[in-house]
Amino acid sequence: MIWSSDDVARDSVRRTAAGLTPAGVDEAVAEAATRERETQEALRSPSGREPEPYEWDLEVLAERWAAKHVEWRRIQALMNASGWAAYDPSKDTQGSAWAQEREARRAGFLEQQAAHWQQRQDAKDELQTEVWLTAPAGRRIRALAARARLSPDQIVAQLAEHAVIGEDGTVSVPAFTPS
């Protein structure tokens, strides 16, 4: 699951801002504004050098700092309007709603992943095969399938499910009604 730059900024700023005073938030707003400006300038003026293998993508970094700047300004405005002495994430209804939304998306994604892996695990136990039968055996299978209103592969699968191996190694299929 990939979070957007807004999601990353909201989560990061919310954790960092916990317990900060208005003065601390003001400093964070100023730093975010500076970082946003610096990354935008770096993005506009290419250096001409090849980026390092583990270096941040400047577009992503600029987008993240812009999102952090917006989130810091939102918290700053919230604190000024509310008169809080320190930022408390639990009192921030908008931030809490966004955090719950992110967590719900994450939980949904994890459920999908678990279902996908379970499906793959179940598929390991299945067998898909192509069987070439003689003409008489093929006609018998098709006749049985038509009589039971099933497809020929469903009849073959049910025959295999009901097959038993005797003590002497012989394979037989007891009488059953296809369903």
What is the share, in percent, of the chain residues with pLDDT greater than 70?
A: 94
Q: What are 175's two structure tokens?
A: 């009488």
Residue 18 CB neighbours (<10 A): 13
Instruction: Look at residue 26 and tell me if it is in a domain.
Output: yes
Residue 131 zone, left/alpha/beta (φ > 0; ψ -120 to 50; rest): beta
In a domain, 154, yes or no: yes
pLDDT at 51 over 80: no
Residue 115 pLDDT greater than 70, yes or no: yes
Mean pLDDT, residues 130-152: 91
What pLDDT sits at residue 167?
A: 92
CA distance 161 to 91: 60
Average pLDDT over all residues of the chain: 88
How many other CB atoms sit within 10 Å of the CB of residue 20?
18
DSSP for residue 165: E
**Tokens 């979070």 — which residue?**
3
The pTM of this model reads 0.59
Q: Which residues contact 165 (CB under 8 A, 6 or more apart)?
A: 171
Please check whether residue 34 is in contact with residue 84, taking contact to mean a CB–CB distance below 8 angstroms. no
> What is the total count of domains within the chain?
2
Answer yes or no: do 72 and 116 share one domain: yes
Give the single-character DSSP code of 52: P
Residue 35, in any domain of the structure: yes
Residue 167's domain spans which residues? 135-172
pLDDT at 25 over 90: yes
Cβ distance 5 to 62 under 8 Å?
Answer: no
Mark whether 15 and 50 lie in a shared domain: yes
pLDDT at 144 over 80: yes
Cross-strand pairs, 171: 165
Whether 56 and 141 map to the same domain: the answer is no
Q: Please report, for residues 126, 146, 152, 154, the alpha-carbon distance to residue 140 in angstroms, rounded to integers and kept in the order given.
A: 25, 10, 10, 14
Per-residue pLDDT at 86: 94
Residue 179 in domain: no
Instruction: Dump pLDDT digits (tens) for 69-107.
Output: 999 999 999 999 999 999 999 999 999 998 899 899 989
Q: Is residue 130 part of a domain?
A: no
Q: What is the mean pLDDT of residues 19-47?
A: 90
